[in-house]
Every structure is written in C-alpha cells, then in structure tokens.
Amino acid sequence: MDLKKEVVFGGVAAAPGTKNQGWCPIPGTDCVLPVTVVNGAGEGKTVLITSAIHGCEYPSIEAVFRFAETVDPAQVTGQIVIVNPVNVDGFLTRTPYLVPRDGKNLNRLFPGDPEGSLGDRIAWVLTEEFQKKCDFHLDTHGGDIPESQFSYAYYPGVGEYPEALRIARESADYVLNAEFVVKSAAINHAYNYATLIGIPSLMLELGQTGTWSEEEVRQYLENIENVLRWLKVLPGEAMKRQKPVRDITRGVYLDAEASGRWYPFVTREDTVKAGQKIGEIRDLFGKVLKEYYAEFDGIVLMVTVSLAVREGDPILSYGA
Ligand SMILES: [Zn+2]
C-alpha cells in the first residue's frame, strides 16, 4: 500500500499526485520566491529546478515557466520543486547578473548568510529549504544581456562526494543540445555548492544577449525533460546525446578588473593561442587600464559584447 505523504518546500505544500504554487518568504525582507511543488503519485527522487538566479537569461526562464505550468503530477515519480525566478527583482527590473537591491551576483554567494543582504539571504533559503531536501539540483542559465556564448552543460568538478560528482558528470551526457560540456572548479555557485554537500547537480546554459526564441525554449525544455527522464522522475527512456562534444576540463573565467570600455579581440567562434592578446579595458578618455592575454591554447567559450563594463562583471572565458 502506497502511503505517500504531503511534501513541503519553502512553506509550499502539495499532497500526493498534486501540484501547488505559492510563495516562499525570505526572512527579514519583503521578498518572496515563486515556488512550484509537484508531488508525484509514486515514490522517487526529488529534483530541484531553478532559473533566473541571473534575471535576464530568458530562454531558461521561459522554459522553466512553461514546464512549471504544464507538468502533470500524474506523470511524475518522486517530486519536482521549481523556484523561478529566483532573483525576482532582477527579472522584473531587467538587471543582468545582479540582485538590484544589494548589487551582488547571487551565483557567487552560496551557501549564503541568513544575516546578510538580500542576495545572501536568498542563497541561504535556497540552500536550507530546497537544496538540502533534494536528490538533484538542475540550475538553468544562459548568456546574460551582455554575453555571447555557446550552449553548455556545466558539471561540478570539486568536492568530497565522489558519487555525487560521478552522477553530475554522467547527467551532462543527457543534455541533448549542449555544444560543450564543461568541468567547473567553482565552489560558491548554486549548483557547485549543492555537490559540495553531496547533492549531484548540473548547470545548463543556452541562449544569449537578452533575447529568446521559441526554438531556444524548445531546446531548453528538451534538455530539462531528458535529464528528468534519466533521473526516472518523468516517464520514458532518456536519450544519451549522440553528437560528440568537447569536454572542457580547464577553463579561465575573466572578470573585469576595472570599470570602463571593454574591447574584446576575439569572438566566441575563435580559438586562442597562449600569449595572444584577447581584450583590453580602456577608461573613458581611451587610456588602457587592463590588458588580457590567453594563458594557454583554447577556445573562447563566452565573450561580453557590450561596450560598457563594470568592475567585477564577467568579460571573457576560454577553455581547453
Ligand atoms: Zn547565469
């Protein structure tokens, strides 16, 4: 006899075989997160899906909106918990990268701080109320308004839980539309932090420069649903990606060391050679403030294409 119970995430409860949507408060603030809890009819894994940790990465955000609206609890084995948009203010105010109220990049704040500013508190709630109650975390991104990039699956590359790292890496093979699979050495991003505490995770990137299309949303949904099939949370056979992709295991992620004018000398289609000049930042009178050179031979994964750049913002990444 199946005695599946009600589940509660961030204060939003759902009875077995039902879906419920509601708001999760961020203590000490007036901010609330939109949460969808899908409690499947049968027992199975709990998968957390997040989007809009960066508020303007639209193909992912729209795909996750549609998934939350259409997913049928009768088709779900286990639980799917969706938080989208995580950075509500960033989404509504069209602010790239940052939480508008504190100017912080939410995806550098994990595991967060319950006494910190809004971004720290959102990260804390996401960690405590959601990640720690899940078996897998799928975080969805894309190129933000100033970014041109490929489609990737990022998998966590550091941590003390080899089984979580193995599952994370294997799940990347089920992201059908990835052009690159990239091992990450970061620790304070949402998905990396999940795996640091033993929960396998994956970060998807698709789309760029503040645009979105039906085709990108379709591809994004295909990726999400295929990973959910691989996790046995949705019915049907998961397809392993057939298209060979490069597995990038060494990456450089450059952040601007000054505010001003950004001139990249490469595009995302380019390969770079060790020692090659790849970009520079100039001040508002044209004086060169910072110059950037490739450390090794590789391929450009992401390049910021906006003329204006602010200190601390991503400007270029390449890998091999
Ligand atoms: Zn992002």
Instruction: Please enumerate in sequence order all residues whose Cβ is within 8 A of that of 215, keeping only pairs 6 or more positions apart, or say none.
Output: none
Question: Which CATH number belongs to the domain containing residue 201 in this structure?
Answer: 3.40.630.10
Residue 278: which domain range?
250-319
Average pLDDT, the chain: 96
Rounded mean pLDDT, 289-306? 96
Q: 190: helix, coil or strand?
A: helix
Question: Which CATH number belongs to the domain containing residue 285 in this structure?
Answer: 2.40.50.100
Last residue of a domain, one of 229, 246, 263: 246
Instruction: Please enumerate in sequence order all residues whose Cβ is within 8 A of that of 72, keeping only pairs 6 or more positions apart, or say none.
Output: none
| 117 Cα to the center of ligand 1, angstroms | 20
| 203 Cα to the center of ligand 1, angstroms | 9
| 86 Cα to the center of ligand 1, angstroms | 11
Same domain, 178 and 297: no
Sheet with 136-141, strands from edge to edge, namely: 18-25, 32-39, 77-83, 42-51, 136-141, 201-205, 152-156, 180-184, 246-248
Provide the sign of the torsion angle of the four alpha carbons 192, 194, 199, 200, taken in this order.
negative
Q: Is residue 192 part of a domain?
A: yes
Task: Tell me the per-residue pLDDT of 80-134, one tens digit each, with 9 for 90 and over.
Answer: 999 999 999 999 999 999 999 999 999 999 999 999 999 999 999 999 999 999 9
Same domain, 61 and 27: yes
Q: What is the pTM of this model?
A: 0.96
Q: Is residue 2 part of a domain?
A: no
3: number of Cβ within 10 Å:
6
Using 50, 70 and 90 to split pLDDT, how confident is the model at 2? low
Same domain, 205 and 284: no
Share of the chain above pLDDT 90, in %: 95
d(CA 50, CA 32): 15
| 200 Cα to the center of ligand 1, angstroms | 19
What's the confidence (pLDDT) of residue 39? Answer: 98
Rounded mean pLDDT, 250-264? 96
| 302 Cα to the center of ligand 1, angstroms | 12
Indicate if the pLDDT at residue 36 is higher than 70: yes
Same domain, 200 and 276: no
Which has the closest alpha carbon to 138: 212, 64, 56? Answer: 64
| 125 Cα to the center of ligand 1, angstroms | 19
Q: Is residue 114 part of a domain?
A: yes
Same domain, 135 and 225: yes
With beta carbons less than 8 A apart as the criterion, state whether 262 and 308 touch. yes
Same domain, 80 and 160: yes
Using 50, 70 and 90 to split pLDDT, how confident is the model at 269? confident
Share of the chain above pLDDT 70, in %: 99
Last residue of a domain, one of 221, 246, 271: 246
Same domain, 82 and 142: yes
| 287 Cα to the center of ligand 1, angstroms | 31
Task: Tell me the per-residue pLDDT of 154-207, one tens digit each, with 9 for 90 and over.
Answer: 999 999 999 999 999 999 999 999 999 999 998 999 999 999 999 999 999 999
31: number of Cβ within 10 Å:
19
With beta carbons less than 8 A apart as the criterion, state whether 123 and 106 touch. yes
